Amino acid sequence: MQNLLVTGGCGYIGSHTALLLLEKGYTVYIIDSNCNSNPFVINKLKKIIMKKDKQLAKNLIFFKGDLRKKKDIERIFEYSKHNNKIIEAVVHLAGFKSVNESMKYPLMYWDSNLIGTINLLKVMQKYLCYNLIFSSSATIYSCLENKLIDENFPIKPINPYGNTKRCIETLLEDIYKSEKAKWKIINLRYFNPIGAHHSGDIGEDPNGIPNNLFPLILQVASSKLRELKIFGNNWDTRDGTCIRDYIHILDLANAHIAAFEYLSKTKSQIINFNIGTGKGTSVLELINTFKNVNKIKLPYSFTSRREGDQKYIVADNSRALSTLNWKPLKSLEDMCRDGWKWQLKNPNGYIDN
């Protein structure tokens, strides 16, 4: 397989994944509505890839489109067919991803994430494309203890965003069962991706004030926000703050390449993989590492716990390590250094460029 479609390819995870696929010589089609991302990412990707090999930039083909419109998806499959570079696999990342927003606007989340996926699957069937890597999330797990989470942990999301992810996984299970000989489906359950490409040219560019810890750290470090509010210092953890499994965005993007290469050579199946480092880091530990690596001040104070937070979410990543040709290579220091480089080079995200 040589030609892939990346839905949501202008987003944070999509852009890094598309870049690595291009670097490997694959043809990458991107569909993105840009409702939560910036089309300028495409130029950035081309710029980075051209430094490596001018020819490779031609393998990036962007279509602006919305998965809720089946015609938009058909257009890109039709184009790929006419150009004799038919899409053989899909990395499906498009969708809304904010927990807070999903609690305010559940219909928007169900509409975009579910309807978008259903349309995509219909079009894939129409064009006989049966290879799919789906971006799922650790948010679907319920973990009450300080225990590593493996793929068989109870699935019990507590917000509409997580519910859409779980529901899509169920849908994919049904699709697989209906045509077991054809479908190859991988659900990648992401833990907490942070950082940026080491060039500092692409990174996370949230709309407005971010909700997630790392983009907030970047904003406080660059004095856009006065201080960071840490949600709780009385959790049952080593320093009282919550623990997460932060993974460098390039390690996470690489997991897609490994998953795709695994799909290419394996039998039809549906399989789930946790994509994390297996190492837990507390909020305070992340803040201190960021301060030390970048030699910068990061004011913070403690506030009450955030509704729905869980104290400890860390991957047991052994299935991914033993099955995929993949392991995370980057340290927490790398994540902090590369994230800061992106912020310094692009203080206002993609807007300035």
Catalytic residues: 161
Segment 228-247, which members bind ligand UFG (CB under 6 A)? Answer: 229-231, 242, 244
Smallest distance, ligand UFG to C-beta of residue 152, A: 17
Alpha-carbon span 29 to 2, nearest angstrom: 11
Q: Is 99 in the site for ligand UFG (CB under 6 A)?
A: yes
Neighbours of 180 (CB within 10 A): 10
Residues in contact with ligand UFG, shown as a per-residue x/- string from 248 to 287 under the rule CB under 6 A: -----------------------------------x----
Smallest distance, ligand UFG to C-beta of residue 189, A: 8
The one among 22, 188, 213, 250 contacting ligand UFG by CB under 6 A: 213
Calculate the alpha carbon distances from 86 to 4, 78, 124, 267 in Å. 8, 8, 11, 21
Neighbours of 106 (CB within 10 A): 15
Q: Is 97 in the site for ligand UFG (CB under 6 A)?
A: yes
Alpha-carbon span 15 to 21, nearest angstrom: 10
Q: Is 138 in the site for ligand UFG (CB under 6 A)?
A: yes
Residue closer to ligand UFG by CB (options 65, 157) is: 157
**Local structure of residue 63 (DSSP, 8 states):** E
Output the six-digit token pair for 316: 């047991």
The amino acid sitting at 47 is K
The one among 96, 191, 262, 326 contacting ligand UFG by CB under 6 A: 191
Strand partners, 187: 134, 272
Residues in the chain: 353
Residue closer to ligand UFG by CB (options 38, 237) is: 237
Q: Is 139 in the site for ligand UFG (CB under 6 A)?
A: yes
Identify which range of 61-69, 171-179, 211-219, 337-345 contacts ligand UFG by CB under 6 A.
211-219
The one among 38, 113, 164, 192 contacting ligand UFG by CB under 6 A: 192
Q: Site size for ligand UFG, by CB under 6 A?
A: 20
Alpha-carbon span 336 to 343, nearest angstrom: 11
Q: CA 174, 175, 176, 178 torsion: positive or negative? A: positive
Q: Is 309 in the site for ligand UFG (CB under 6 A)?
A: yes
Q: Is 211 in the site for ligand UFG (CB under 6 A)?
A: yes
The one among 185, 216, 220, 275 contacting ligand UFG by CB under 6 A: 216
Identify which range of 66-74, 136-144, 262-270, 344-352 contacts ligand UFG by CB under 6 A.
136-144
Smallest distance, ligand UFG to C-beta of residue 149, A: 9
Q: Is 137 in the site for ligand UFG (CB under 6 A)?
A: yes
Angle at 351 between CA 349 and CA 353, to 5 degrees: 95
Q: CA 68, 72, 78, 80 torsion: positive or negative? A: negative
Identify which range of 51-59, 62-70, 76-84, 132-140 contacts ligand UFG by CB under 6 A.
132-140
Query: Which distant-in-sequence residues (6+ apart) come within 8 Å of 288 by Cβ?
Result: none
**What DSSP string describes 289-313?**
HHHHHHT----EEEEPPPTT--SEE
Strand partners, 61: 29
Residue closer to ligand UFG by CB (options 61, 315) is: 315
**H runs (alpha helix) in 53-134:** 70-82, 99-104, 106-109, 116-126
Smallest distance, ligand UFG to C-beta of residue 243, A: 7
Output the six-digit token pair for 97: 């991803």
Identify which range of 31-39, 60-68, 255-263, 305-313 contacts ligand UFG by CB under 6 A.
305-313
Residues that bind ligand UFG (CB under 6 A): 97, 99, 137-139, 191-192, 211-213, 216, 229-231, 242, 244, 283, 306, 309, 313
